[in-house]
Structure formats: C-alpha cells, structure tokens
Amino acid sequence: MSRFVALEGADGCGKSTQVDRLAQSLRNKGEQVVTVREPGSTSLGERVRDILLDGDEPLCAEAEALLFLASRAQLLEEVIEPALAAGKWVIADRFHISTVVYQGIAGELGEERAADLCQVVIGDRRPALNIVIEISAEKIQERIDSRSSAGDRFESRPGIYDRTVAAFRQVRGIAGDRIVRVDGSGTAEQVAARIEKEVALVLR
Ligand code: TYD
C-alpha cells in the first residue's frame, strides 16, 4: 500500500505533531491526504478507544490486542482502503507496529505472537513505510511530566516508558515490514525534515 505511511514511537515522542506536519507538506505539493489515529477514527474505533484507554475493566493480553485489531480492521475497511483506492495518501498516527511493541515486546504476548495476530487480521494491508521517531526515555518522562492530563491505561503501567523506548528500538514487526528509525531530537522542524526525507527516499 504505497501511499500509506505510519508514524510510530513511544508516548511523548512528538508523533502527532509530525503526522500533521507530514500531511501538510504533502498537501503543499498538491497531494490529497487523509490522517487517522489509532485506536479510533471510526465510530467503532472511538468506542474501542474508550474501553482500551479509559476503561478499567480487566482485559487479558489477547483481548487487548484483539480490540486494537478490531478497531484497525474497521479503519482499514471504512477509511484507509477507500482513501488509497481514490489515490490519496494515508498518514496513520500509529498502526500495527504499536501492537507488536506495546502488546508484544513490552506486553505479555511476545513479539512473535503479536506479529502473528496482526498478520492474521491485516495481512498485506500494511503501511509501505513505518517511521519510528526515536527519543530517549528521560526526554519522554520530562514531556509526560509537563502534561496536565492524566495518563491512559497504558501510560500508567509501571516502567512502561523504558520498556516501550527499548522495544521500538528493536521491533521488527511482520516479515516484509519496512521500518525506518528517525532521530526525534531537536526542533519539530528538524524532525519533520528528517521524516520528509525518508518518505521521499522510500516512496517516490
Ligand atoms: P496515542 O493515541 O498515541 O496516545 P495519546 O492519546 O497520548 O496521543 O496512543 C494511545 C495508547 O495506546 C498509547 O499508550 C499506546 C497504546 N497502543 C497500544 O498499546 N497498542 C496499539 O496497537 C496502539 C495503536 C496503541
């Protein structure tokens, strides 16, 4: 899915800002762009997001991963596939690499099992490029501490920042995934320029 890019990284890495910047830079070149966030961006996805992030009912590891995947399946069908078929770009704020990291490597499933579940549900309907914005655990902690809002279910897990930063460094995803790591330090402009360079290198 060649015009499909996912931005990935630990919480607080600046991903959402970069999704907007990348979308804007493509629009400035005359491209049509759809941005999506995960979990969410469909009616079902937003409800699943509430259960996953703000709910407090017990969730076993498999159920958790499958809820993320249910939201993703709906997003593919309702939004991503039609947009790509219409020649638009799709920029996703997280996609399956997050499941492999959070539920797999940093969670209880392990990388292989999480990647297998993703493969079963999404198959080849994957981003052509997964950009991981890398940032140190210390920097993330600083950014999170300065936020006013309370953390979600995942952010309140002990040691989660160290584990996810390390997991994003090593994640391989599903066989055939193209994962590029970009230095997330410096200004938003500098990071955006690095991301644009990778997109231009890989997808044009
Ligand atoms: P995100 O929307 O990036 O966080 P924020 O609301 O702070 O912008 O992601 C929500 C949380 O969900 C984040 O802690 C990571 C987690 N997550 C998973 O555990 N697995 C997944 O597959 C995805 C997409 C997100």
In angstroms, rounded to a whole number, what is the distance separating the alpha carbons of residues 114 and 3? 25
pLDDT: which is higher, 138 or 49? 49
- Residues 130-139 have a mean pLDDT of 91
- Residues 9-27 have a mean pLDDT of 95
In angstroms, rounded to a whole number, what is the distance separating the alpha carbons of residues 13 and 139? 8
- Looking at residue 203, what is its pLDDT? 77
Sign of CA dihedral 134, 191, 3, 38: positive
- Looking at residue 47, what is its pLDDT? 95
Tell me the pLDDT tens digit for each residue of 50-105: 999 988 889 999 999 999 999 999 999 999 999 999 999 999 999 999 999 999 99
Closest residue by CA, ligand 1 atom 14:
154
| Average predicted confidence (pLDDT) for the chain | 93
Tell me the H-state helices in 29-125.
43-49, 61-75, 81-85, 96-99, 111-122
- Looking at residue 1, what is its pLDDT? 66
* 119 pLDDT above the threshold of 90: yes
Give the position of tokens 């979600």: 152
Give the DSSP H/E element, type plus range, for residue 141: helix 137-145
* 142 pLDDT above the threshold of 90: no
Closest residue by CA, ligand 1 atom 2:
38
The CA 38 to ligand 1 mean position distance, Å, reads 7
Q: With beta carbons less than 8 A apart as the criterion, state whether 98 and 147 touch.
A: no
Q: Is the CB of 111 under 6 A from ligand 1?
A: no
Give the position of tokens 């690499």: 97
pTM, full prediction? 0.94
* Pocket-testing residue among 37, 148, 152, 160, ligand 1, by greatest number of atoms within 8 A of Cβ: 152
* Pocket-testing residue among 38, 66, 97, ligand 1, by greatest number of atoms within 8 A of Cβ: 38
